[in-house]
Structure 1
Amino acid sequence: MKKRRRLILFFIALTIAVTTYFNLIQNRLEAQPIVQKQFQQTINVKTILNKLHKRATLISLEGSVSKTYGQTDDMFNTGWNWIDKLGNKQYIIKAKGKFTMGMDLSQITQDDILIAGSTIIVKLPEVKLQTLELPYEKMTIHNEDGILRKEFTQKEIKLIHTEMTSIIMKDIKSDKDIYVNATEDAKKFLRIFLMLMPGVDEVKFSY
């Protein structure tokens, strides 16, 4: 009789344990959509905008640049070679430096952000040249001056440096490959950056 009673109590305890376990599993499954819904509710334009504005300037590309520039300044042009050389000034300038490309994320406004479910669509600003470092002290000048011409003064060298900087800046801005690469790198970073936000499954860009 005692064995039978123990067996009955065992089955009752087992039934209670199994029922409790399945109730816990069911409660967890029912709670998952609620958590996902809460995550989705955190995706809003203001949150995204604040995240982008805190990043401010995004540097997406760093590069090096080298430029050789030569010029001849003739004092005379008589056709007599030995005379003309007396007043000639020929020089070759070599300059090396570094530059960065990027975009100003603070330019993005609320109207540039669209949320479609778990997808974010952002209209990006244009990639621009951010910095150009062309050290003055690293610029080299090789010149051949006629006996009637003086060597470059410091003022002239500084003017040449300014001119070289302007030329290199134009070269960078006219290079389409630099802009394409800088834009693609910016998109790769921002896609990862924004997908770290809870509830975001996809990030797209427009221009």
Structure 2
Amino acid sequence: MMQPELLNVLLEVLGETREEAGAAYREIHERLTRFFSLNNGSDPQTLADEVMDRLAKRTVNEPKEKIISPHAFALGIARHLLQEDQRRYARETKVARDWDVRSGASENDQEQLLEALEECMSHMSKDKRKLLLAYYSWPEGKKIDHHREMADRHGLTMNALRNRVMRARSELDSCVRNRQRDVSPKKDITKRRTVGDL
């Protein structure tokens, strides 16, 4: 949710009257949602919200006369955000694939992985542990809504929430790999698969 003071500044740039500004806001938001939808954005509505939020922050920092076309400004921001979203999606997909492939490992490997996971989770800060457990525990078919609610609860944008989760997940992955290396017999160390190898 955009801060009221930012929204007011943005509306001043978008139109002479409140009605004109409101109509322009809705039009830009709808175009952005279509843009992200056509370009396979992970969550077009939320990405469009993020662009409007960034546009509002830019209007605060830029002289009013410099923002000749808010539509063009918003599209430029959207292109950058789409690149961020695609990079994040690629990282998340790789991590998910790495862990999914492990499900085909032997029972003994699975047991070692779970032990390493539990051990590493126990050494993480309470906040990071709670964040990861909450982020990956959504009701069926409610993933995006669940993540949006989490972002609101933490006072974050969806983008910021995903970045925070990815940093915690990266820390966890690294710990699990190191722990598996430590418990692997020397003779098997070149053959045993780790999360990073998958």
TM-score band by shorter chain is under 0.3
Answer 1 or 2: higher relative contact order, Cα 8 Å, separation at least 6. 1
More strand by share: 1
Give the TM-score, by structure 1 length: 0.26
Give the TM-score, by structure 2 length: 0.27
Structure whose CA Rg is larger: 1
More helix by share: 2
